[in-house]
A and B are shown apart, each in its own frame.
Chain A
Amino acid sequence: MLAKMVLFVPSFPQTPTEMSEIAEKVKAIIIDKLGVEASEVTPEASFTNDLGADSLDTVELIMEFEKEFNVSIPDDQAENIATVGQAISYLEEHAK
């Protein structure tokens, strides 16, 4: 449902304090799956080093992103998504 809503979000420049809808959703998924506090989910935060994810958690996160944003993230690109910020930029670029 939300993935469909995202389709119609017009892209306009963000102010530094305002997060895109994609970023909000990415953050919500991370909070839900990793059981962390919202304040910990900063753009620089690494899933494994800062947010306590193990290798399986990381796979699950990528799958959740694919499902939520209706994208397919190839393994070689998934390897480069290690921080919150990297996930957001990837999805802002590729989400349909």
Chain B
Amino acid sequence: MSLRRVVVTGIGAITPLGSTAPAYWEGLAQGVSGAGPITRFDASKFKTRFACEVKNYTPDDYFDRKEGRKMDLFTQFGVIASDEAIKDAGLHESGVNKDRVGVIWGSGIGGLTTFQQESFNFAKGDGTPRYNPFFIPKMIADSSSGNISIKNGFRGPNFVTTSACASSSDSIVSAYNYIRLGMADVVVTGGSEAAITEAGVGGFNALKAMSERNDDPATASRPYDKDRDGFVLGEGGGALVVEDYEHAKARGAKIYAEIIGGGLSSDAYHITAPDPTGEGVVLVMQNALRDAGITPEDVDYINTHGTSTPLGDGAEIKAIQKVFGEAAYNLNISSTKSMTGHLLGGAGGIEAVASILAIQHGIIPPTINHFTDDPELDARLNFTFNEAQKREVNIAVSNTFGFGGHNTSVVFRKFRD
């Protein structure tokens, strides 16, 4: 059977840089940091007291009070980002057959705020269980895709992928597969996360995974800098409407880009540490390029996982050099996490949006906060340090890797008929 072509016809984002996809792109292109002191809770006793929060967020701006109260923050971000993408794609206006529209969302954790709040409440009581009936439906990770489908009446495939920080690249690859196999015509995909809570920050601090640069939050996320000291926690969501090309053409949809490949692999090494040999990461990019039917020379831009951790950044770059060889020197490489922080299960969603808009605008968003070269990294590579660079982008690859050893790469190409 022949596989169908898959295109992106809508985008949406709510991020620490801006609460719509255009506002997010403006922040990326200008190299803005989304980091600041934590406002969601009193972090004064925490090792890390800053994060990349979605700014000035009020649920009432988006939901009526009863509706908002029944969704954890990560689901709210998911509904907001997907609403933007669905509107952008004009799905409702086109009168699409909703039986053929799916929702495949990504979340690494699910409703952490809800889980934490209900546990606090129980601990404060006398042991009598007084759990709220909305506790479980708010907390479970798939309440995001469930709410998106309920709101829009989409009755196609519906589930959530969970693979830590690779979650929403896995959702996008799944959406791509379901459409190219003919199991749906349209899928709303991407992912969201909201883990800036006591449990989230305390938990990641215990893993020694996060930056503790409390005296200068805005420069804390500095992938590939010699003095990087861990990731900066972010929150938000990114959404794509992906669609069978013939379906998109028939309804006259605007097309942002084409998805031409997806790769998946596993480190099979350690539950949190990246494999220093980078073998799993080599494999995932090889798998993606093979699936896309392209060679390393065809790629213009890699939006890297690059979380600003001492081990992870180096392993990914070594893997890129192994896969791309000499062609690595012709790539633009950048980690937009230097600006957004790390959205965990939402990272693949917003980074897909960044990769697609890089293709659309012919601009590579930068890796900001570069001060000192890391002697361990090949200085001949173009890390797009500090300022955006103009470049015609035909093919962009988005990498994400998650705790558990999950690796996922998605390949986007400029759309041509």
Contacts and interface: CB of A to CB of B under 8 A. Distances in A.
Contacts of B67: 35
B133 interface: yes
Contacts, number: 18
A47 B336 CA distance: 49
Given A34-B66, A35-B65, A35-B66, A67 B130 contact: yes
A66 to B, nearest CB: 8
Tell me the interface secondary structure of chain B in the complex: loop
Interface string B38-67: 000000000000000000000000001111
A60 B133 contact: yes
Interface in A26-82: 33-35, 56, 59-60, 63, 66-67
B134 interface: yes
Contacts of B66: 33-35
Interface residues of B, number: 9
B2 interface: no
B132 interface: yes
A56 B137 contact: yes
A56 B133 contact: yes
Contacts of B133: 56, 59-60, 63
Contacts of B134: 56, 60
A63 B64 contact: no
A71 B134 CA distance: 21
Contacts of B132: 60, 63
A48 to B, nearest CB: 14
A60 B131 CA distance: 9
A7 B194 CA distance: 41
Contacts of A63: 130, 132-133
A49 to B, nearest CB: 17
Contacts of A67: 130
Interface string B121-165: 000000000101110010000000000000000000000000000
B75 to A, nearest CB: 15
For B64, B130, B133, the residue with the greatest tally of chain A CB atoms inside 10 Å of its CB is: B133
Contacts of B130: 63, 66-67
A29 B64 CA distance: 17
Contacts of A66: 130
Nearest to B64: A35
Nearest to A59: B133
A63 B128 CA distance: 12
A60 B65 CA distance: 15
A33 to B, nearest CB: 8
A66 B132 CA distance: 12
Contacts of B137: 56
Contacts of B64: 35
A22 to B, nearest CB: 20
Contacts of A34: 66
Nearest to B68: A35
Nearest to A72: B128
A83 B137 CA distance: 25
A59 B220 CA distance: 46
A56 B133 CA distance: 6
Contacts of A59: 133
Contacts of B65: 35
Given A34-B66, A56-B137, A66-B130, 13 more contacts: A33-B66, A35-B64, A35-B65, A35-B66, A35-B67, A56-B133, A56-B134, A59-B133, A60-B134, A63-B130, A63-B132, A63-B133, A67-B130
Q: 3 nearest interchain CB pairs? A: A35-B66, A59-B133, A56-B133
14 contacts: A33-B66, A34-B66, A35-B64, A35-B65, A35-B67, A56-B134, A56-B137, A59-B133, A60-B132, A60-B134, A63-B130, A63-B133, A66-B130, A67-B130
